[in-house]
Structure 1
Amino acid sequence: MSKQDDIVLVTRQENELVLSRFDEAVAFEIGAAIRGRALNEGLSLVVDLRTWDRQLFFSATPGTSADNAEWVRRKINSVRRFQRASYRLVLERGEAPFPTQSGADPADFVIAGGGFPIRVTGAGIIGCLTISGLPGRKDHGVAVDALCDFLGKVRADYALAEATN
């Protein structure tokens, strides 16, 4: 797939992986599933689910550090400000820091995959599901897989192809 194809697919993910509601129970179910996957597959990652004003779920698996929580914070800020998946920012802009004139200080914002907007039917984007610990494309994929599973959608229909570097 080309970068443009990936942008189209990530935009589709954002528009179709929409929740009917988002509350503490939903956050726990999605977050616990991600944590379970991480433990089963030996993935070192941090997962955070939140509305813009409050964290509803947080978990760190073995092998993570305070740095992962810091990456999560910066990814959340980027998703909130730009209203899109942080991996779409990577595809659209590259991974270089935001330019100074943007006002998006690298201490608080990052262009890296793993932040996915939580969109609720009738309300729009109200929060974020964020993963840190794997390469950005894979962090993004873990978030998308979890939303597909929760919504009963086929993962393969929304999965990005393996990156070829």
Structure 2
Amino acid sequence: MTVQDDIALVKQQERELVLPQFDEDVAFALGSALRERALADSLGIVIDVRSWDRQMFFAATAGTSADNAEWVRRKINTVRRFHKASYRMVLERGEVPFSPQSGADPADFVIAGGGFPIRALNAGIIGCVTVSGLPGRQDHGVVVDMLCDHLGKSRDTYRLAAE
């Protein structure tokens, strides 16, 4: 697959992996599913599920550090500002820091995979699911797999090819 194919698939993920509703119970279900996957596969990741006004789920598995939580914070800011998956930013721009002219200070924003916008039916983007600890493409993939499972959609339809 080409980078353009990957961008098209990430856009499809963003359009179609839409939650029928989002509240504290859904946030807990999403975060718990990610944590269970991390434990089952021995993945060292930090997990954050939130609406824009508050954090609703947070977990860290073995092998992570405070740096991962900091990467999560910066990925969240990127998703919130640009309204797209942080991995799509990687595909579109490369993993280069934002320029000073962008107003997106690298201390607060990062171009790295793992932040995915939460879209709720008839509400648009209202928050995000973010993980950090794996290479960016894998961080993104873990989130997409979990959303597919939660929504009863085929992982194969939405999964990016392995690099």
TM-score (norm 1): 0.98
User: What do residues 19-69 of structure 1 show as CA deviations (whole Å, max 9, x unaligned)?
Assistant: 011111001111111101100110000110000010000000001000000
Residue segments in structure 1 that go unaligned for 5+ positions in a row: none
The 5 Å alignment of 1:57-96 reads: 57-96=57-96
Task: Indicate yes or no: 2:28 matched with 1:28.
Answer: yes
User: What do residues 130-158 of structure 1 show as CA deviations (whole Å, max 9, x unaligned)?
Assistant: 01000000000000000000000010100
Structure 2 letter corresponding to 1:70 = E
Please name the residue that 1:117 is paired with.
Answer: 117
Aligned-pair CA distance for 1:81: 0.2
**How many corresponding residue pairs?**
163
Please name the residue that 2:136 is paired with.
Answer: 136
Please name the residue that 2:45 is paired with.
Answer: 45
User: What do residues 63-88 of structure 1 show as CA deviations (whole Å, max 9, x unaligned)?
Assistant: 10000000000000000000000000
Aligned residues with identical type, % of pairs: 71
Please name the residue that 1:126 is paired with.
Answer: 126
d(CA) in 1 for partners of 2:2, 2:98: 23
Please name the residue that 2:56 is paired with.
Answer: 56
Structure 1 letter corresponding to 2:72 = V
Please name the residue that 2:157 is paired with.
Answer: 157
d(CA) in 2 for partners of 1:54, 1:46: 17
* Counterpart secondary structure, 1:138: helix
Q: Which of structure 1's runs of 4+ aligned residues deviate more than 4 A? A: none
User: What do residues 70-124 of structure 1 show as CA deviations (whole Å, max 9, x unaligned)?
Assistant: 0000000000000000000000000000111000000000000000000001100
Aligned-pair CA distance for 1:13: 0.0
Structure 1 letter corresponding to 2:125 = I
Aligned CA-pair RMSD: 0.4
Aligned-pair CA distance for 1:126: 0.2
Structure 2 letter corresponding to 1:24 = E
TM-score (norm 2): 0.99
